[in-house]
Amino acid sequence: MKNLIKVMLFSLLALCTIGLYGQQPAASYDIIPQPMKVQLKGGAPFELSATTVIAYPDGNELMRKNAEFLREYIQKSTGLKLGLTTNPTRMNCINLSLDFKLSTGKEGYLLVVDDRGVSLMAAEENGIFYGIQTIRKSLPILKEKVEQVALPAVQITDEPRFGYRGIHLDVARHFFDVDVVKQTIDMLVLHNQNTLHWHLTDDQGWRVEIKKYPELTRFGSIRQRTVIGHNTPIYDNTPTGGYYTQAEMREVIEYAKERYITVIPEIDMPGHMMAVLACFPELGCTGGPYHVAEEWGIADDILCAGNDKVYSFIEDVLSELVEIFPSKYIHIGGDEAPRVRWQNCPKCQARIQQLGLVKDDEHSAEDKLQSYFMARVEKFLNSKGRQIIGWDEILDGDPSPTATVMSWRGTAGGIKAAKTGRDVIMSPTTYAYLDYYQSERTNREPLAIGGFLPIEKVYQLDPMDQLSADEQKHIIGVQANLWTEYIPYQEQLQYMYMPRVAAICEVQWCKPAQGDFEAFKARLPKLVDVYKLMGWKYARHALPADYDHGSSASMW
């Protein structure tokens, strides 16, 4: 009798389970980045079907666009095609709504699912966008047609740790066209990132159309040949180039904006300027001749800081740039500018004299000349209503108190900057340089610059290390960088980014208490399912051995 009751109870339980979920596919909120607070409610799930509608507030274009994104994601993952409405109902509706009183911050959201419907609320439209990403990543990815997908009852409260969540893309060493840049933006979207740092110019190529100086793209965007491997004596003997027209850059910026992503352009100066010197040799200290660099590394030839024509040139370029890019910040580089030409240049030395720059225990007069250079450009950009970001070398000399510092030579520069009251973005080589190898078995990897940065290490970046609570306020964000000397193809670009961007996105989005690499790793396959759905290439090192990579062609 007891056994019979047991069997009956068990059957009842099983029936309930089948009734609720059955063989029916269900969503799971074990996603990346992990939301701040996920409270499963345990009640009946919401049954998402083709009869479900997505509601958005009438007259709000951004919210209509958000609703369209959600519809597209749901269809791509599940095949279910939902309708849109401006008349929300309590039943069978995903209601997207704004409530400025919500305490989840500028980019946060509140997602509530019960058996009757889904409510996604945020103070601002971008919060809704991130809530939509959460729904998207929670959904199962289905190959066969289904009638319904179960969304377990839940309340999710979420907001990011940092306001600046960046990914850097170098298009100077190898050029990537607008479609690739847009797909990179799509990758940022999936990882709740909000800033694309677009490294547009370097020794090996100038990629920005500047109407006043057509030479920059006519000649400066093309290098006649490219060295093979790590600066071997062999070259490919093939000219290569590429640049973006101003219309194309505007198209990228608009595409990013629709996805709540700001594009920050970088014009790297006074170093990394060989492509400019090749067009305008009079802007260098020696007068040239120069050519667009064909090897990798740091060039001794940089812009002459003693020549006023250089500042006029930079101002002309930046004047056109700020007309295209609406970003608060313009990145003006400042890294890897050797002093050797300035030391031997009469114009630079005269400028040092004229400014009364003298060496001290820590810095040379030429270091201070670079500070003067950067400050002069900063002042110009300030006059255009913009602020500057510079690599941490800008701290050498008499650094501007108002520049934002991007710490790349480890975190020391960022720590120093934060301690002296400057804003900081942490992107140290030690944790955030995605051009480094991700495995020690380098013979099985595509050629990379060197280094070793496995995903575990990326995950361990602590941007607040060694900082007091007050100093921590200056850490405005975190960024991962991808330099493309050794990355000529989009597939390789994706392989270097993913899934390490997933690790950096948890550093950027999640509170420190959430950081648990093993738990992250357990959530990774579900995110990689989305990579597969998008047709993106990814590295497999952190995935379980039995993960089904499907038909995705294996390159490495």
Residues at the interface with ligand ACM (CB under 6 A): 335-336, 391, 408
As measured in angstroms, the least distance from the Cβ of 13 to ligand ACM is 58
Q: Which of 320, 336, 398, 456 is catalytic?
A: 336
Phi (first) and psi of residue 410, to 5 degrees? 80, -165
Beta carbons of 423 and 404 less than 8 angstroms apart = yes
202 catalytically annotated: yes
Q: How many residues does the chain have?
A: 556
* Residue 336 interacting entry, from ligand ACM, Zn ion, none, C-beta within 5 to 8 Å by type: ligand ACM
Q: Which is nearer to ligand ACM, 30 or 335 (CB)?
A: 335
Phi (first) and psi of residue 101, to 5 degrees? -85, -10
Q: State how far the Cα of 200 lies from the Cα of 223, in Å rounded to an integer.
A: 15
Binding to Zn ion by residue 318, rule CB under 5 A? no
* Residue 285 interacting entry, from ligand ACM, Zn ion, none, C-beta within 5 to 8 Å by type: Zn ion
Q: State how far the Cα of 521 lies from the Cα of 516, in Å rounded to an integer.
A: 9
Q: Is the dihedral of CA 523, 524, 527, 528 positive or negative?
A: negative
Q: Which is nearer to ligand ACM, 408 or 520 (CB)?
A: 408
Binding to Zn ion by residue 306, rule CB under 5 A? yes
* Residue 408 interacting entry, from ligand ACM, Zn ion, none, C-beta within 5 to 8 Å by type: ligand ACM
Find out whether the peptide bond into 454 is cis, omega within 30 degrees of 0: no
336 catalytically annotated: yes
Q: Is the dihedral of CA 33, 34, 38, 43 positive or negative?
A: positive
Binding to Zn ion by residue 347, rule CB under 5 A? yes
Q: Of all residues in this chain, which one has the CB nearest to ligand ACM in the complex?
A: 335
Q: Which is nearer to ligand ACM, 114 or 336 (CB)?
A: 336
* Residue 251 interacting entry, from ligand ACM, Zn ion, none, C-beta within 5 to 8 Å by type: none
Q: Which of the stretches 164-172, 306-314, 450-458, 487-495 binds Zn ion when contact is defined by CB under 5 A?
A: 306-314
Which are the contacts of 65, defined by CB distance < 8 A and separation ≥ 6?
258
Q: Which of the stretches 170-178, 338-346, 428-436, 535-543 binds Zn ion when contact is defined by CB under 5 A?
A: 338-346
Of residues 54, 151, 318, 348, which one binds Zn ion by CB under 5 A? 348
272 catalytically annotated: yes
Q: Which is nearer to ligand ACM, 104 or 427 (CB)?
A: 427
Which are the contacts of 354, defined by CB distance < 8 A and separation ≥ 6?
none
Q: Which two tokens stand for residue 257?
A: 């904006």
Of residues 200, 227, 285, 330, which one binds Zn ion by CB under 5 A? 285
Question: In 3-state terms, what secondary structure has residue 481?
Answer: strand
Beta carbons of 284 and 309 less than 8 angstroms apart = no
Of 161, 153, 168, 154, nearest to 192 (Cα)?
161
Q: Which of 174, 197, 272, 363 is catalytic?
A: 272
Q: State how far the Cα of 216 lies from the Cα of 244, in Å rounded to an integer.
A: 12
Q: Which of 107, 125, 170, 202 is catalytic?
A: 202
The residue count for binding Zn ion (CB under 5 A) is 6
Binding to Zn ion by residue 345, rule CB under 5 A? yes
Q: State how far the Cα of 461 lies from the Cα of 455, in Å rounded to an integer.
A: 11
Which residues are designated catalytic?
A: 202, 272, 336
Q: Where do contacts with Zn ion occur on this chain (CB under 5 A)?
A: 285, 304, 306, 345, 347-348
